[in-house]
Chain A
Amino acid sequence: MKINVEVNGRQRLLDVQNGDYLLEVLRAADCLSVRRGCDSTSCGVCTVLVDGKPVPSCSYLAIRADGHRITTVEGIAAEAENLANHFGAEGADQCGYCNPSFALVAYALKQTNPDATDDEIREWLVGNLCRCSGYQSQLLAIRHYLEDRS
C-alpha cells in the first residue's frame, strides 16, 4: 500500500508493507540519518519527529504515519550543524552513532521549551542512550544550543 507523508518538508507517496516500521521506510527513502539500534524502543537511536514530536521509528508502524509530517536530521540541517558545533565544543561527540537522535530531541525541545532547565533537558534525554559519553557533555552542549538564539 502507499502512504502519503510529508518528509522533511516534501510531500512523498511511499510504498510500504502493512507490517513495516517507519525506520525501514525512511531509510529506504534515503533518510540514512535514521539509525537502527536496539529495535525495541529502549535506546532512542532511531528517534524521528512525527508532527514535531519525538517517536521511536523502530516501533512506529509506517501505515500509521499516513497523513503526518516527519522530520529527520536531513530536514533540520542548519539546526543540526549548529548543535554539532556545540557538541564539538563540549567534546560530546565520539562515535557519533546516536548524534542524529540527540539532535532531533534537542531540536524538538527547543521548539517546545527553549528555556528548559538542566533537569528538563535530562528528562528529555532519558530515552536516548549514548554508549561513549557520560551524558554531561551532551547536557552542556544542548544547554548552549538552547541558549544560542542566533
Chain B
Amino acid sequence: MPAMRIENVFRAASVEEAYKEYQRDKTSVLFGGGAWIKLTLKEVANAILIDGLGLDEVLETPDAFEIGPMCTLAKIVSHPGLGILHDGILPQACHQVMGIAVENIATIGGSVMGGFAFSDVITPLLAMDAKLLFHKHEPMAIADFLAKRAGFRDILVGINVPKTEGRGYFHKIAKTRLDFAILNIAIVNVNGLYAIAVGARPGIAKLAVAAMDRLNEIHPVGQYDIENAAAAAIEELEFGGNNRASAEYRRSLAKTYILRGLKEVTFDENQR
C-alpha cells in the first residue's frame, strides 16, 4: 500500500491553536486517531496533530466520566469505572475492535469524529446518552452530531458519559474476531428508560426512537412488551446489504439480538 502523502504537518501547542489552523485552512485534516486514517486518506495537504495536548485521559466527576478524544481504546478497556458503568458495555465494545495493537492506536475521538458506519464504539455511546464536548460548539448529543457532521469543523475535546445506574447490553456480530461487524447492538435500561442503538446496518449507528418511546411508556415491562419493542425497532430502522450480509439477514439478526438484549437488561437471570 503506498504511503500517505502529507505535504505539511502542523503540531498544535494547544487546542486553540489547532482550532485556528483548522479554520484557517479548510483543506486541513485533523489527525485525532490512527487506526483507519491510512485506509481512508491518500493525500493530505495539511495534517494537524493534537498529540500531547492532554486529551488522552478519562476524568471522573460525581455525575459523569469525561473521556478525552485522544484516549486510546486500550485505556477505556482497562478503566475500572467504565468497566462497571452499564455492565461495562463501552469497554466491551472497544475490546472487540481488532486486537491489542490496534486498541493501542485507535482513539475514541477518532472513532466518533470519523463517523464510520462499521463503528463498534459509536453504538454503545448512543445508548449511554453520551454528549460530545467541543472546543467552540455547545455540548451536543452524539445522535445530533451524527445527523449533521458533514462539514462540521470543530475540535472534540471530550466525551461526557453520564454515570447513571442501569443495566447494559452490547453484542457484536462479525464473521471473525478481526472483521468489521455485520451488526452491533447496544441497549441500556436506566430505571425503566430504555435506549436501543443498532450499528453497522451497514449504515451508521442509530437509535430506535419509536421502539424506545413505546417501551418507556410501560411500567413494568413484560415479555410481551419487549417482543413488541424488538419488532418495532426493526420496523423503524433501515437495513442494507453489502458483501458481509444481506439486509434480510441483518434484520433477522437484529430482531433476535434486540430481544435478547432487552431481556438481559429487564429481567433477572432466572426470569429470562
Contacts and interface: CB of A to CB of B under 8 A. Distances in A.
Interface in B1-46: 1, 3-9, 31, 34-35, 37-39, 44
Interface string A48-66: 0010011110111101100
Interface string A124-148: 1111110000000000000000000
Interface stretch (A15-23, A26-34, A92-100): A15-23
Contact of B99 (A59, A60, A64, A126): A126
B101 A47 contact: yes
Interface in A48-94: 50, 53-56, 58-61, 63-64
A39 B4 CA distance: 12
A53 B251 CA distance: 39
B101 A127 contact: yes
Contacts of B9: 1, 18, 63
A44 B39 contact: no
Interface in A99-129: 105, 123-129
A126 B98 contact: yes
Nearest to B72: A53
Nearest to A18: B6
Contacts of A50: 104
A41 interface: yes
Given A19-B5, A63-B49, A126-B177, A41 B102 contact: yes
Given A17-B3, A18-B8, A64-B49, A128 B99 contact: yes
B196 interface: no
Contacts of A18: 5-9, 47
A45 to B, nearest CB: 11
B150 interface: no
Contacts of B147: none
A25 B103 CA distance: 22
A106 to B, nearest CB: 12
Contacts of B51: 64
Given A18-B47, A44-B99, A59-B34, A126 B6 contact: no
A6 interface: no
B104 A53 contact: yes
B243 to A, nearest CB: 16
B38 A59 contact: yes
Interface of B: 1, 3-9, 31, 34-35, 37-39, 44, 47, 49, 51, 74, 95, 98-102, 104-105, 177-178
15 contacts: A1-B9, A18-B8, A19-B4, A24-B3, A53-B74, A53-B104, A58-B1, A59-B37, A59-B105, A61-B37, A123-B100, A125-B99, A126-B177, A127-B100, A128-B99
